[in-house]
Amino acid sequence: MSRTSHGFNRSTQSAPTTEFLTLVEEGEVATITLNRPEVMNALSVDLSREFAESVEYIRDQDHLHIVVIKGSGGNFCVGDDLSEMAGGEWGNPNAVFRRVRYYQDMANTLEELDKITISAVDGNCVGGGLEITMACDFVICTERARWGMPEVDWGITPGWGGTTRMVRLIGRRMTKEINLLGALHSAKRGVDLGLFNRVVPNDQLDDAVTGLVELLKIKNNQGLRQLKFIINKNAEADLYTAQGFEALQGAYSASVLAANLVPDADDAHGWTAYAKKDPESEILKRRQAALNFWVD
């Protein structure tokens, strides 16, 4: 265990050894690919452990700013492996309780990463697979993607987001419909309800993800971190508390830029670049790149 200059312990400096997923780092981008294509990337106990360890590793890497999660073999993920449940590998009720809490911690860690996370969804995305997407910042899916929460028909209930995060994203009535009926839905309906950001043609998923990644790369990383943090926290707070945090964030942003103490933050206020109207300004180029992105 090592100690960094930040003053807290980092216990995951080495990437985990994995068998059922791949973790690839390319500069500031990490890509996790769930890799059990023969069972549509069902989350076995071992795959879930590897996923949790990979998320924890990514959490502790300052050089990583963007995370892409996808599945192999034409599917994203069909959730927990029911064959393992049937085989008793989840253990007695207390063991199940502990495992569910472990998976909740995994999803919470994913949601709280100070990186921008993107789920790239193709094919089936159900149960635990859908719960992964709900802990991410962006979800892009193909036209052929199908999603849902089928647990009710298997005599089980969601454990790490299928009711809790979903009700916060799409409301009580729609969450009941998705969970109590257990149907599989179209990609377009996921966008309409607010679970997904974009639907793209089946052969354009990689290009769509790359386009989003490239836009995120030119953003102010400190700004992205702060925005993600405050949006996540304020979604759970009352209006006036949230506004208080929002005001403090404004002051924090000004102080960070003025002090120039964060290596991957802008070294100047955006309004300075705006006032100078310098066409070579990286900030103005960044703004121009964003103007028409995902504008229908």
Has 131 been annotated as catalytic? Answer: yes
Fill in the DSSP letter of residue 17.
P
Q: How far is CA 120 from CA 205, 212, 267, in A?
A: 7, 11, 32
Residue 164 is given by DSSP the state H
Alpha helices in 135-171 (DSSP H): 164-170
User: Annotated catalytic residue: which of 151, 246, 280, 282?
Assistant: 151
CB atoms within 10 A of CB 18: 18
Residue 9's CB: how many other CB atoms inside 10 A?
A: 10
Helical (H) or strand (E) element with 34: strand 29-34
Separation in Å, CA 87 to CA 44, 82, 84, 90, 93: 12, 8, 5, 8, 14
Tell me how far apart the alpha carbons of residues 275 and 260 are, in angstroms, rounded to a whole number: 20
Closest CA to 106 of 171, 33, 176, 57: 57
* β-strand pairing of 185-186 with 146-148: antiparallel
Question: How many Cβ atoms from other residues are within 10 Å of residue 291's Cβ?
Answer: 7
Residue 40 and residue 73 in contact, taking contact as beta carbons nearer than 8 Å = yes
Distance from chain centroid for Cα 209: 13
**Which residue among 56, 131, 143, 280 is the active-site one?**
131
Active site residue 26: no
Closest to 51 in 3D by CA, of 114, 132, 115, 150: 132
Give, in degrees to the nearest 5, the angle at Cα 206 between 208 and 135.
Answer: 75
Rg (CA), the chain: 20
Active-site residues, by number, are 131, 151
